[in-house]
Structure 1
């Protein structure tokens, strides 16, 4: 028998979870910090998991992470104002793929390096940036996002290079070699004594260079000339504007943004 107040209890639970995930109360901030710490620990596990697969406890850790990720995904869908829209978003689809690789680690062993994309999806939840905003450092958000994208790219490519070329090397030696090749390719400093063999290896190096250089340029832009500046509009309170904006694009109010040009 369904109790008449079940709907209200469900609504109260949804409201409570939404407040914890998106609120600014001390309890919500503690919850968000705890979620962020757990996510960072999970990402660290994803980074080192290619060299830990032979551990006896690996599957236990793998399935434990899968359980945590499942709870987080279900909770975020539950508190979403438009769950169907949430289901169609690319970060959500990436999280689902990551969950599949965790639930079937043997079948998706060669795709495990893509789990590091969790760092990219985490950057779209807002939890990475709220500490900056709470501490008056909102103008560093674009820079932090550029750093996150670059680190994600380096780790994903390193995982791919390790899986494809250096998996036979024992322990962390192979992973460090893969990371070295990735960084050397992205920075175009040259490989020295380590080279990716064959046409496939050269193709991977070319792609890595092209994408990596663009990410470095984006990071430099975020550091030295942000694409947006944080300046509250006196009428509508819109926070982000183009550096050379004269009028607010939302309400048309005349702005007096400090000079962010090159000096």
Structure 2
């Protein structure tokens, strides 16, 4: 093989490495341009989540909804492809639970007729976004303490559960309950059950309806308690111990509680 043929064969590899390097720079870099790019991606993510939230109502628009569905699917596919290219080891990326959640969400977008009843799981995108390092490296990089991050994660878990449960109730019981006319009725039932208010004007029929109501109540109480704990928990800062790796310490800690190593936590006033 001639030298020219070898160089031409290496050209696609060079382009591939350049593309991966570019994606790695944008998705993991700390420069202002990379941060602005990630902020734009996050804004698009929130727009997609808004579309998922409004999907039960927008579905009545007919073919226009399915066109929007495909557009969102293409955007999500492009984002996931870029994230995979930016990751050092794609096999490790595929091992992440959030990756499989996003892949399933993409499947519901690409196959809306076959996976229609699983559309309520699309709201898991809210949890995967607000729990991701990608989000906190971009939006939360100014926070030295973990309070804002923990409260946001707890709120994301609670909000995600509310909308996923609402979507499940709407998709499963809409045709079997005379008082469950629309998505708002399903949301009303979910919130009333989750808060154990129990007005009783909308109740799910059958044993499975009772089981689902119990699950919503127990899970809701657990998530509310978790949120309350993150709010009242003593203030902590993220400062990894150089010896044992403990991530969180009191702001005025001098020694690590786990191993006793001397710490030098930067004063917030010096940032």
Do these two structures clear the TM 0.5 threshold for a shared fold by scoring above it?
Answer: yes
Structure 1 position 200 matched with structure 2 position 176? no
Structure 1 position 154 matched with structure 2 position 162? yes
Query: Structure 1 length normalisation: TM-score?
Result: 0.85
Bigger share in helix: 2
Shift of 1:38: 0.7
Query: Structure 2 length normalisation: TM-score?
Result: 0.83
Partner of 1:260: none
* Larger Rg belongs to: 2
Partner of 1:19: 25
User: Helix, strand or coil for the counterpart of 1:190?
Assistant: coil
Shift of 1:157: 0.3
Partner of 2:91: 84
Q: In the alignment, is the contact (CA less than 8 A) between 2:144 and 2:238 conserved in 1?
A: no
Q: In the alignment, is the contact (CA less than 8 A) between 1:231 and 1:239 conserved in 2?
A: no
User: Helix, strand or coil for the counterpart of 1:54?
Assistant: helix
For residues 107 and 19 of structure 1, the distance between their equivalents in structure 2, rounded to whole angstroms, comes to 38
For residues 233 and 62 of structure 1, the distance between their equivalents in structure 2, rounded to whole angstroms, comes to 43
Among 43, 46, 67, the residue aligned to 1:40: 46
User: Helix, strand or coil for the counterpart of 2:59?
Assistant: coil
Describe the shift of the 1:246–1:204 C-alpha distance in structure 2 as closer, same or farther (beyond 3 A): farther
Instruction: Name which of structure 1's ranges 185-194 and 210-219 shifts more when overlaid on structure 2.
Output: 185-194
| Deviation by residue 1:11-62 (Cα, 9 ceiling, x = unmatched) | 2221221111122211111111111111111111111112222313011100
Stretches of structure 1 that go unaligned for 5 or more consecutive residues are: 258-263
Paired residues, what number? 254
For residues 235 and 111 of structure 1, the distance between their equivalents in structure 2, rounded to whole angstroms, comes to 45
Q: In the alignment, is the contact (CA less than 8 A) between 1:158 and 1:178 conserved in 2?
A: yes
Among 182, 188, 193, the residue aligned to 1:185: 193
